[in-house]
Structures are given as structure tokens and as C-alpha cells.
Chains A and B, each alone.
Chain A
Amino acid sequence: GENVEQHPSTLSVQEGDSAVIKCTYSDSASNYFPWYKQELGKGPQLIIDIRSNVGEKKDQRIAVTLNKTAKHFSLHITETQPEDSAVYFCASSSGYALNFGKGTSLLVTP
């Protein structure tokens, strides 16, 4: 089945800096790539997603890029704020089910 690798597992940045989280996938049929943010004690929340016919998507301070040839996609957060501190999960799907990475714990220090 699909294998999604996510790096790094932990990331610490200073407020105002950028954060980048990277994921790779194995199934070349994967065509949907969402990112989720999970705050302590809560369920994951969809923050942005991208489909295989698009190379980049932005939503304010958040952007996702997709390289289909290399089978990797990345989450970019600019001008980080303390409230961005959370666990972030990437996922991929070929239409059957979402397969999640193991998560990245992001800490933004003031």
C-alpha cells in the first residue's frame, strides 16, 4: 500500500521565521494531498490541500508545493506565529483512502 514519509518529526523556529515540512509518497497513482493541523487535545483540522494537476497552492501565510516526478510535497508556513505551534500531518490518496504521515511537531518560540 501507499507509504507516506514525513520529515522532520520535530521543528522549532523563532516567531517570524519560515517553517517547511516535507513529505514523500510511494504510489504514483496518488492524486490528492491534504495537510492537517492538530492542536493539543483536538482532532486534526484540514488547513490546505492540493491536487495532482496543480504544482503550488497558497492561502495567506500557508503554501503547499507538489513535485509529481519526485513524488514529494511540502508545506510552507511564512511569518510564523506562536499560534502556529501544533502537530502537522501530511496525507496522500489515490481515491481509495487517506494515508497519513507520522506528523511533525512544530514549536514557534516568541
Chain B
Amino acid sequence: NAGVTQTPKFQVLKTGQSMTLQCAQDMNHEYMSWYRQDPGMGLRLIHYSVGAGITDQGEVPNGYNVSRSTTEDFPLRLLSAAPSQTSVYFCASSYNRGNYGYTFGSGTRLTVV
């Protein structure tokens, strides 16, 4: 039982490049979400999904796309990376979107130069 697995752990991108951050969970959780963590800003919700085929925007969705084709996987796509997207990204999953504890992955540290 691996929990929430994020890959890669570290990534450096050039401005304008695209990439996909991977997230997979093996707990059969319906709810999955992506957060970014910046110094002094706490955790801010980018996108979330309440089940396969259903996604919605969070607080800071601009510049990111998501899809949820299976219960297990919830990839985050950066379409054209910008220095403002330099951050640590966390994927989280839960049995329920608001009233149960989240399980977080170990994060992806992304630097855009």
C-alpha cells in the first residue's frame, strides 16, 4: 500500500516548456486534488476531482490543466511554464472532498528558469 505517489521529485524547466506532474493513489479514494506551496502562502488549491471524469478549478487554476480518466491517477499539466510557477506541488487524496483527512504525496519541487 504505497498511498499517494508523485513523480518526479524534482524538475527544472525552461520558460515556455510543458510537462506533466504525475500523481497516483492506491487507496481507492474518490477525491483527489493538487496544491501548490509557496513560502508564506500556505497550501493553495489548483484543481480537484471528485471522481473519474469529473474535475474542477480551485483557487489558482490558471496555467494548469488536469484530467481524471481513472480513479487512481490525477496528472497535472503545465502548458507553458512560467517562472511564477516555480513552487512545490503536492497531490492529495481523500475518501471525501471536505470532511475527511487528506493523504498527501511527498511533493514535486519545480523550478522554472
Residues of A within 8 A of B (CB): 1, 6, 31-32, 34, 36, 41-46, 49, 51, 89, 93-98, 100-103
Contacts and interface: CB of A to CB of B under 8 A. Distances in A.
Contacts of A101: 42
Interface residues of B, number: 23
Contacts, number: 55
Contacts of B63: none
A42 B103 CA distance: 12
Given A89-B43, A102-B41, A46 B102 contact: yes
A49 B103 CA distance: 13
Interface in B40-65: 40-43, 45, 48, 58-59
Contact of A44 (B98, B99, B104): B104
B22 interface: no
B43 A44 contact: yes
Contacts of A34: 101-102
Interface of B: 4, 33, 40-43, 45, 48, 58-59, 90, 92, 97-107
B51 to A, nearest CB: 15
B90 A103 contact: no
A96 B40 contact: no
B36 to A, nearest CB: 12
Given A43-B107, A45-B104, 8 more contacts: A6-B42, A32-B98, A32-B100, A36-B104, A42-B107, A94-B98, A100-B43, A102-B40
A98 B40 CA distance: 18
Nearest to A94: B98
Given A42-B106, A42-B107, A89-B42, A96 B98 contact: yes
A109 to B, nearest CB: 23
Given A43-B104, A43-B107, A45-B104, A97 B41 contact: no
Nearest to A95: B98
